[in-house]
Amino acid sequence: MIRGCPQLLTIDISWTDISDAGLQALSKGCPRLRAIIAKGCHSITDEGLRWVGQHCRDLRLLNLHSCYKMNQTRGFGDEGVLHVSNGCHQMEFLCLAGCANLTDSSLLALSQGCPKLRTHRGRWMLTRIPGNCGELRRMDLEECVLISDAALLHLAAGCPKLQRLTVAMVQNHSYVLHNIEI
């Protein structure tokens, strides 16, 4: 099917068992893709995201919500996010919520490789928000229990176009939230 759809712009493959080979075929067969929605696809690894980064140069939306299964030995991590950030420079929306293998390295890679990123949804510890998040308008840190005061201060200073910040269910930040200058 994929070989017959070179003009495909959007695909939703959520909650399927798509493999890295499937992402390879999708990425190579549909290089014009602008949106991949792959929520709950537990078989995606760094290798599959390498294909996306290499062949989907016009990708603007990538939703990998809940693509991590607890106690899973496979999955994707910082390396996969690095592949995406190295190839998908048009990215505007990225959802990595529920992807527990990620560290601050992913955020750093995205800030450097995806300058057009406007919305980021993710739930991992942030210790630094680089200054080149100039287009970031929305940040969802809901349930980021490890978020530090320093990260919130860097976010306030480094993202001048930020319009929406979600810090629901994050404890012990009342001092910082009252003292951020907007």
pLDDT at residue 16 greater than cutoff 90? yes
Mean pLDDT of 107-116: 78
Q: What is the pLDDT of residue 128?
A: 40
Q: What is the pLDDT of residue 79?
A: 93
φ/ψ (deg, to 5) at 24: -65, -50
Q: What is the pLDDT of residue 104?
A: 64
Q: What is the pLDDT of residue 129?
A: 47
Contact between residue 98 and residue 70 where contact means Cβ atoms under 8 Å apart: no
- Check residue 106 and report its DSSP letter: H
Contact between residue 153 and residue 128 where contact means Cβ atoms under 8 Å apart: no
Candidate from 41-45, 75-79, 84-88 with smallest mean pLDDT:
75-79
pLDDT at residue 38 greater than cutoff 80? yes
What is the rounded average pLDDT for all residues in the chain? 77
pLDDT at residue 14 greater than cutoff 90? yes
Pairing of strands 138-140, 119-121: parallel
The better pLDDT of the pair 116, 143 is held by 116
In angstroms, the Cα distances linking 163 to 120, 142, 146, 160, 173 are 12, 16, 22, 9, 19
Candidate from 13-17, 19-23, 164-168 with smallest mean pLDDT:
164-168
The better pLDDT of the pair 85, 149 is held by 85
pLDDT at residue 75 greater than cutoff 60? yes
Total-model pTM: 0.77
- The rounded percent of the chain whose pLDDT value lies above 90 is 35
pLDDT at residue 141 greater than cutoff 70? no
The better pLDDT of the pair 36, 127 is held by 36
Q: What is the pLDDT of residue 126?
A: 44
Q: Which residue segments constitute the domains of the chain, with CATH numbers given? A: 2-177 (3.80.10.10)
